[in-house]
Amino acid sequence: VIHRDIKPANILLTKDNQIKITDFGAALNNSSQTTQVSGVGSPAYMSPQQVKEQTLTHQTDIYSLGVVLFQLLTGRLPFQAGNNYSLIHHIIHSDAPAPSRYRPEVTPDIDAIVARAMHKTTEGRYRTWEEFSFDLANAFGGLASRVEVIPDSEKFNTLRRLDFFRAFSDVELWEVLKITDWHRFPKDTVLIREGEVGTSFFVLAGGEVRVTKQKRLLNILRTGACFGEMAHLTRSKFVRTASVSALAQITVIEIKSERLQQASENCRHQFNGAFLAMLVDRLALANTRLSHLLAERNITAS
């Protein structure tokens, strides 16, 4: 789907800090035979291809979001004009200034991202949303993930091997595939940050992560482990009590609480059973560690 009217007024922030795009009245299904309608969109956010009424792809939306990003960083639009004719001339012929021109603290990598998103030609612009989001995530804290196209059959086989999903039936695992997002993150990526509000939990499909609190190491989690589940179990805004980061490249399965709540009763039941088994294992581990600690201190528990 090509939105064709990406602008601040059509970008909403929910109470759970989720970003939503609204007003698809101008949207175009690029898989259909729909005839494009001229004059659709807000001129200040239109790509050169859109103002010239050329055939559009998702890259026109990438350009528009680049304009939104410029405005977010600087508080102004990249092109100032007294009328639409002059504005369209600038969009087609003028290069957008770097955001750092108006805000010197903006870094060169952010300037480069905005410039590429707003490139005049589709060849010079980001080709995919993945490329755009990866560069943004790298620039804003190293949260980038290379989202590769993994066949559903491979995902299914991975789920079947993980302890967390051991009790799930084949039908339930296929449903899990529909409500999850899969990511690959590089070493030292912070997936969960202490003190931030979270709405997702994760299952580690490959690799290891470290769990820290106030920069002190609490645990090392390996393939099959689940973390961040309190964001779902509390059913409310949950402030993360620890940080989780990648020890090396990892593959993680992300489950958003709101999507799990919309799953079938059988699927939710299996998740609850997996959570219960996991909590029992953690209690047993905590008891063992406490016993060892008491033994080391020559204290006999009553």
**pLDDT of 84-98, one tens digit each?**
899 999 999 999 999
Does residue 260 belong to any structural domain of this protein? Answer: yes
Largest distance between two CA atoms of the chain? 84
* Model pTM score: 0.52
**pLDDT of 162-187, one tens digit each?**
999 999 999 999 999 999 999 888 88
Q: Count H helices and E strands in the chain, helices first.
A: 10, 12
159 and 43 both lie in a single domain: no
Mean pLDDT of the 2-22 span: 86
The HSE-up count of residue 95 (CA atoms within 13 Å, CB side) is 9
Q: How many domains does the chain have?
A: 2
129 and 190 both lie in a single domain: no
Q: Which domain holds residue 192?
A: 152-295
Do residues 159 and 224 lie in contact, with contact meaning Cβ atoms separated by under 8 Å?
no
**pLDDT of 199-223, one tens digit each?**
889 999 999 999 999 989 999 999 9
5 in active site: yes
Domain boundary among 116, 139, 162: 139
Q: List the structure tokens of 92.
A: 């087609």
Question: What is the domain-level CATH number for residue 257?
Answer: 2.60.120.10
Cβ neighbours, 10 Å, residue 69: 18
Q: Looking at 5, 16, 135, 152, which residue is catalytic?
A: 5
